[in-house]
Structure 1
Amino acid sequence: MLRLHYNLEKLSMGLVVGIIVAASIGGIVEIAPLFTIDETVEIPDDMRPQTPLELAGREIYIREGCYACHSQMVRSLADELDRYGPYSLAAESAYDHPMLWGSKRTGPDLARLGEKYSDDWHSQHLIDPRSVVPASIMPAYPWLIRPLDTEILSDQLATLAKLGVPYDAEMIAAAVGDAIGQSQPDSDAGDAVRERYGADVAVRAFDGDPARLTEMDAVVAYLQSLGTLTNAPYELFAEGAQ
């Protein structure tokens, strides 16, 4: 076998063909299961899509490269379960495009971050990380207090709807109003968000000021939604503990 490989290295075209064959086999092994994904991943009945504000926050999270240091995948290892909670289910990312799983952890995993800290803590942490975590090496994001651009929110929801995310025509048409309403807890628009996305959706001034809609509102709303879109992993974890 070694002699065959040695001789193959002498033939450039033969080596190229060998590489293509090996890569093709690996690609098929990885890609083939995706054709049955709809049959193997069962979406929980209580699973909800992200609100327009949470979706905007997710886009900013990706834009700022947060995924490079924080994973969103709790693995089924004892120490991870003790630190982060129930291990991640594939169904939790059924509506994610792209999904943000991974095991790179310069910072802690965020899959179960939702409602673990207050909105004020998150805002301060993003503006000046070391003011709340002195040993933090996370960069600061003070520019997140600028106004949120909502121009393409409806188009984003419409695109995701074509990919299978359950946004209906009413949700798509009301995307901008719902993004604003989710940050105004005492308004009719805030009530409309709850009607469309469920009573458990967080509706509050995430950056502390309901008179404005900022990127900070969006990012904090997104962070507070992580791990809260379905109770399935917590129920499964409770069953396993019995």
Structure 2
Amino acid sequence: MSLWNRHKIFETNSIVLLIGILIVISIGGLVQIVPLFYLKSTIETVDGMRPYTPLELAGRNIYVREGCYLCHSQMIRSLRDEVERYGHYSLAAESKYDRPFQWGSKRTGPDLARVGGKYSDEWHVDHLKNPRQVVPTSIMPGYPFLFTTPLDYRYIDADMKVQQIEGVPYTDEMIAKAEADLVAQASLDDPGIDEMVARYPKAIARKYTGTTTPSGHITEGDALIAYLQMLGTLVDFKLYDNKANIR
């Protein structure tokens, strides 16, 4: 029997072709899925990773609310040009507490996975108020209202509770102390700073914008900058070979 005659049954019978397609797809799916059941974890363990502090989580919510992920990615690929520009390629563990993750799908602006500590708080304030002030060619809109809008953190404990249900390792103590920890991180002399840092290692307490609203409230700008300044700072990348797996 010629090759054509063997293949003819699929070409002339749509039902047989459909069954063949389903069989091939099923085999391919099983080859990819079955091994996962024998792995303890599909995400590597990385020292230094912790859940977001309440202030960082509030800032992340603002980041999502304003659609920052539409123009900025948080995923550095293992390509030489990306690593040389943005830093160590992204590790899966860096996103394990993200619900949802912020990898993004395009870059109108630069990747932000390693933006933490790259610029001063003052730079971020100026950039968010008027991007052209620090980057003349920027097409990013300004967000001056963030620095006059009080941060509404009345439900931050409920937000953390939902994250806990989804698998983020927030303890009941963290949730109970959520508002106190948020206020402590946005201050310089709050008596709860030491307790907050004990719960969230590497968290830095300071007045991120240097200002408050006329009523003395923490601003949305404080929360957003706290989130941005944390990105990429939790993992010590000196422990990883920056040249490995770079194409």
CA 1:74 to 1:52, structure 2 compared with 1: closer, same or farther past 3 Å? same
Counterpart residue number, 1:169 = 172
- Tell me the CA shift for residue 212 of structure 1: 2.9
The offset of 1:188, in angstroms, is 0.7
1:107 and 1:34, CA in 2 relative to 1: closer, same or farther beyond 3 A? farther
Question: Are 1:230 and 2:232 an aligned pair?
Answer: no
Find the structure with the greater CA-based Rg.
Answer: 2
Amino acid at match of 2:208: F
Counterpart of 1:155, as a letter, is: A
- Tell me how far apart the structure 2 counterparts of residues 31 and 175 of structure 1 sit (CA, whole Å): 38
Report the secondary structure of 1:179's partner residue: helix
SS across alignment from 1:80: helix
Asked if structure 2 preserves the Cα contact closer than 8 Å seen for 1:84 and 1:112, the reply is: yes
TM-score (norm 1): 0.83
Instruction: State the partner residue of 2:182.
Output: 179
**How far, CA to CA, are the matches of 1:218 and 1:98 in structure 2?**
18
| Aligned AA (1:215) | E
Match of 2:200 among 192, 197, 210: 197
Partner Cα separation in structure 2 for residue 33 and residue 90 of structure 1: 18
Q: Give the ranges of 4+ consecutive aligned residues of structure 1 lying more than 4 Å apart after TM superposition.
A: 1-8, 13-38, 238-241
- 1:191-222 CA-to-partner distances (Å, cap 9, x unmatched) read 32212112x21111111126431110110000
Q: 1:130 to 1:173 in 2, by over 3 A?
A: same
Structure 2 residue 63 is the aligned partner of structure 1 residue 48: no
Moved more, 209-218 or 113-122: 209-218
Match of residue 114 from structure 1: 116
1:94 is matched with 96
Aligned residues: 236
Q: Is the 8 A contact 1:71 1:105 kept in 2?
A: yes
CA–CA distance in structure 2, aligned partners of residues 60 and 158 of structure 1? 18
In 2, Cα distance between the equivalents of 1:182 and 1:159? 22
Counterpart CA distance in 2 for 1:205 and 1:221 is 9
Q: What is the one-letter code of the residue matched to 1:203?
A: A
Query: Relative to 1, partners in 2 of residues 1:190 and 1:27: Cα closer, same or farther, differing over 3 Å?
Result: farther
Deviations 1:11-59 (CA, angstroms, capped at 9, x unpaired): 8x99999999999899888877876775121222321111010011111
Provide the residue aligned with 2:134 in structure 1.
132
The residue matched to 2:135 in structure 1 has which SS? Answer: coil
Please, which runs of 5 or more residues in structure 2 have no aligned partner? none
CA distance in 1: counterparts of 2:152 and 2:21, whole angstroms = 46
CA 1:20–1:184: 2 relative to 1, 3 Å: farther
Please, which moves more after superposition, 102-111 or 213-222? 102-111
**Residue 190 (structure 1) shift:** 2.4
Q: 1:240 to 1:51 in 2, by over 3 A?
A: same
Instruction: Give the share of equivalent positions with the same residue, in percent.
Output: 51
Deviation, 1:189, is 2.5
Sort the Cα spacing of 1:107 and 1:30 in 2 relative to 1 into closer, same or farther, 3 A. farther
Give the deviation of 1:103 after TM superposition: 4.8
Q: Aligned partner of 1:117: which letter?
A: Y
Contact 1:114 1:227 in 2 (8 A): yes
SS at match of 1:144: helix
| Greater alpha carbon shift after TM alignment, 131-140 vs 44-53 | 44-53
Contact 1:71 1:108 in 2 (8 A): yes
Partner of 1:113, secondary structure, is coil
**Per the alignment, in what secondary structure is the counterpart of residue 112 of structure 1?**
coil
8 Å contact from structure 2 (residues 160, 175) kept in 1: yes
Q: Could you tell me which residue of structure 1 aligns to residue 79 of structure 2? A: 77
Deviates more, 1:118-127 or 1:94-103: 94-103
Once the two structures are TM-superposed, the CA of residue 72 in structure 1 deviates from its matched residue by 0.5
